Amino acid sequence: MIYFSTNKSSIPVSIKQATLHGLAPDGGLYIPSEMPRFSEAELRLLEGATFNNIAFAIAKKFIGAEIPPDQLGDIVENCYNFDTPLVRLDANTFVEELFCGPTLAFKDYGARFLARLTGYFAQEEQRLITVLVATSGDTGSAVAFGFQGVPNTRVVLLYPSGKVSRLQEQQLTTAGGNVHALEVRGDFDDCQRLVKQAFVDPQLNQSLTLTSANSINISRLVPQSFYYAWASMHIRERFGMKDPLFSVPSGNYGNLTAGVMAKMLGFPIGHFIAASNANDSVTRYLDDGRYDPHPTITTLSTAMDVGNPSNFARLRYFYGNDHAAMGRDITGISVSDQETIATIHSVYDRFGYVIDPHTAVAFRALERYRTDGGGNLELPGIVLSTAHPSKFIETIQDTLRREIDIPERLSSLLEKKKQATLISSDYRELASYLDNLDR
């Protein structure tokens, strides 16, 4: 499999090069030269398959012969040693709980796979890889835990000061070892801009081998397609339902893009809802075909506070810059903070089920889609639950007026000392920090 840039002015590369470099030299995002597809016969062979069997089948399509099958199988087995529950709330509404990994967030699916691929390729190359990551919360913690102790790698996390929850910040800043945290005076878009500048800085790239663990890295995006594929097969086998509708909490749009990839691979998926908060650049594009990103707005669903999402470039490429074609697969719905709070309440009152603010955005978007009658109302709806509610304990407890249990693996972090370097949003400070990382 060959990968090339969405900007079309860089030479094609292998999956190893795409993984180790993250961003193409022309600033574009790597995409497969041709999207692989499962035949009907191949899909029939996956009926009744485990999550890991489906993950391995997809990974082989994108990695080809670059990693021997037995070693790729070991990578998959080591990554996904936790469950992916599909919880039924009512006749047609399900929640796919993607928070059962080590950091209690969906980013574990992509970060753990990427960490092991990076470690595998770094060992082959016998060089030190610096993983540079912008995070609005859960990406950073998943990357920190995923790469912790991986040979030939080190991680530099950039997160916006005061714009992540306390538990998220503790996860970001207490990993230690080969993981370094930078607290940026700015918002997530500032962090993302700094990372992109570093990747196209020729002087910096002469001295360091940089890659990204954000969803701009194709090897973090591919494994996020695994849980869409698995759910689309599992809901048919267990509940007799087909072609589910996925409601996706959307910030940087990597999660939604991975879902689109799963559909393009041939898995039986009906439609997508791109559920956004007040940062609705893509929602507005889906409405009228004009992409006009606005400055980032701070909301309760902080991990989705992204004004100019990177992965929108991939989405546009996959749909040939055709607004109408994208709209046939994706409906954009923006949800306010007031609706988010009300949804946390209503889901608990109706089902006794506690959801975090990001899941609430997706749940409310599904409700509005069904109420507005914008599509096939008989489709089973799967809400992606991207974080354990305890990661946003202040918001949940203030909303429900009840105590929320914090899993021990999170509560133990509160006792640890935060270790982070404060920098401004001036790129020169980041470049200086990276230049002096070994000194």
Catalytic center residues: 107
Inter-CA distances, 165 with 224, 334, 389, 391, Å: 23, 22, 12, 7
Which residue reads 């009152």 in tokens?
349
Structure tokens at 279: 């940062």
Residue 36 burial (CB < 10 Å; 0-12/13-18/19+)? middle
Helices (H), 352-392: 357-372
Q: Cα–Cα distance between 319 and 185 in angstroms, integer? A: 36
Query: In angstroms, what is the C-alpha Rg of the chain?
Result: 20
Structure tokens at 177: 């070892």
Q: Which residues contact 281 (CB under 8 A, 6 or more apart)?
A: 291, 292, 293, 294, 307, 308, 309, 312
Q: Cα–Cα distance between 228 and 31 in angstroms, integer? A: 19
Structure tokens at 201: 């800085």
Helix, strand, or coil (residue 159): strand
Inter-CA distances, 289 with 15, 178, 285, 331, 368, Å: 32, 44, 5, 12, 21
Q: Cα–Cα distance between 52 and 70 in angstroms, integer? A: 13
Contact criterion met (CB below 8 Å) for 271 and 331? yes
Helices (H), 80-152: 107-125, 138-147
Which residue reads 């989705």 in tokens?
304
Inter-CA distances, 97 with 87, 357, 365, 383, 397, Å: 7, 14, 17, 9, 20
CA triple 207-213-217, angle to 5 deg: 95
